[in-house]
Structure 1
Amino acid sequence: MSTYHVYPTRDLIEHDTETDDCVCGPLTEPVPRDDGSMGWLITHHSLDGREKQEQNR
């Protein structure tokens, strides 16, 4: 089983990519593989508000 983390760089905090306990409340999604097994994609949220700035562009 593989786990991949996607996280913002230069954020207000250092994101915890070693455990499932990051303060940003990441979204965890199962990703089916071609062989039928599952991997995991963990998407971390920024805490500096960059998503709002990107949506206003």
Structure 2
Amino acid sequence: MTATVHVTPLGDLIDHDTDADDNSCICGPTTVPIELGHGLIAWAYVHPSLDGRERAEGD
């Protein structure tokens, strides 16, 4: 059994595509496997912001 979740930034410059079960959003999300135990794996698509807030957090 697998599950898919999308992690998206709030209030970004675009509405991120979270309808698909893949990483087809224009922002180029990273696919991360998450082991849930008992043989279960969830796939998380982590969407970066397009407004650059990640760069500001590193300062």
Fold shared, TM-score > 0.5 on shorter chain = yes
SS at match of 2:17: coil
Residue 38 of structure 2 corresponds to residue 23 of structure 1: no
Deviation at 1:33, TM superposition (A): 2.3
* Count of aligned residue pairs for this structure pair: 56
- Runs of 4+ deviating beyond 3 Å: none
C-alpha distance in structure 1 between counterparts of 2:55 and 2:37, whole Å: 36
C-alpha distance in structure 2 between counterparts of 1:42 and 1:36, whole Å: 20
Instruction: Give me the TM-score of the superposition, normalised by structure 1.
Output: 0.86
Residue 22 of structure 2 corresponds to residue 9 of structure 1: no
Structure 1: segments with no counterpart, 5+ residues: none
Identity across matched positions, percent: 48
